[in-house]
């Protein structure tokens, strides 16, 4: 009987993973009000981790395979998606123009952090509803990546409470970039 009980725990964990999906650091289920997280596996040092790939202007992939969504900023879409169509409708801008701006934002972000070691700071929530890490990213020289992208005019603001630690800084940098026609605002 005891042997059976010791076998049940791994079976239950496996079933939970299979039903709800697993990430590199654990199992996460995001419901409308609750988040269940069962941490297991390897933990990572977010004080010094490599950006292995830049997905778009505001999303990175780390050496451990995790995706990081940069908090507080939003860059134009460069691939066909529902979000692209919403951006086009909201801004009354041609889809091809938005995608071109998205590629410019991607290039800027890729040149800034692609293949470089970074430090990630978290805010109130560590993950978004898609299971991506939510982070403020810093280069080893202290450059605040989220802020730099806004400052150089390659992102708009995207404030989603409760992750609002640097909203005032981002707002000031955004206004300055727009007033000085930087980046995408040329």
For the segment 51-85, what is each residue's pLDDT rounded down to a tens digit? 999 999 999 999 999 999 999 999 999 988 888 88
CATH number of 44-185: 2.40.50.90
B/e letters for 10-47, b = 16+ CB within 10 Å, e = fewer, are eeeeeeeeeeeebbebebbeeeeeeeeeeeeeeebebe
What number of other Cβ atoms are within 10 A of residue 148's Cβ? 19
pLDDT in tens, 7-61: 555 555 555 444 444 444 443 333 433 344 444 556 789 999 999 999 999 999 9
Is 90 marked active-site?
Answer: no
Domains of the chain by residue range = 1-43, 44-185
For helices 95-113 and 82-91, what crossing angle results, to 10°? 120
Is 179 marked active-site?
Answer: no
The pTM of the full predicted model, rounded to 2 decimals, is: 0.76
Q: What is the DSSP letter of 57?
A: T
Provide the pLDDT for residue 9.
Answer: 56
Provide the pLDDT for residue 8.
Answer: 59
**From 24, 53, 125, 132, active-site residue:** 132
**From 5, 24, 77, 121, active-site residue:** 77
Is 104 marked active-site?
Answer: no
**From 69, 117, 125, 152, active-site residue:** 69
Range with top average pLDDT, 29-43, 83-97, 158-172: 158-172
pLDDT in tens, 98-150: 999 999 999 999 999 999 999 999 999 999 999 999 999 999 999 999 999 99
């Amino acid at each position: 009987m005891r042997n059976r009980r010791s076998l049940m725990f791994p079976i239950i964990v496996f079933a939970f993973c299979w039903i709800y999906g697993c990430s590199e650091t654990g199992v996460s289920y995001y419901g409308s009000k609750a988040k269940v997280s069962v941490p297991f596996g390897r933990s990572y040092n977010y004080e010094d981790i490599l950006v292995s790939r830049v997905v778009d202007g505001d999303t990175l992939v780390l050496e451990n395979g995790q995706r990081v969504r940069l908090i507080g900023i939003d860059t134009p879409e460069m691939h066909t998606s529902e979000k692209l169509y919403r951006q086009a409708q909201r801004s009354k801008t041609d889809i091809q123009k938005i995608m071109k701006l998205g590629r410019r934002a991607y290039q800027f972000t890729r040149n800034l952090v692609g293949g470089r070691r970074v430090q990630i700071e978290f805010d109130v929530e560590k993950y978004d509803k898609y299971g991506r890490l939510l982070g403020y990213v810093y280069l080893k020289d202290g450059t605040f990546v989220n802020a730099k992208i806004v400052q150089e005019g390659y992102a708009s603001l995207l404030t989603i409470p409760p992750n609002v630690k640097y909203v005032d800084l981002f707002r000031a940098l955004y206004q300055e970039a727009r007033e000085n026609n930087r980046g995408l605002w040329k």
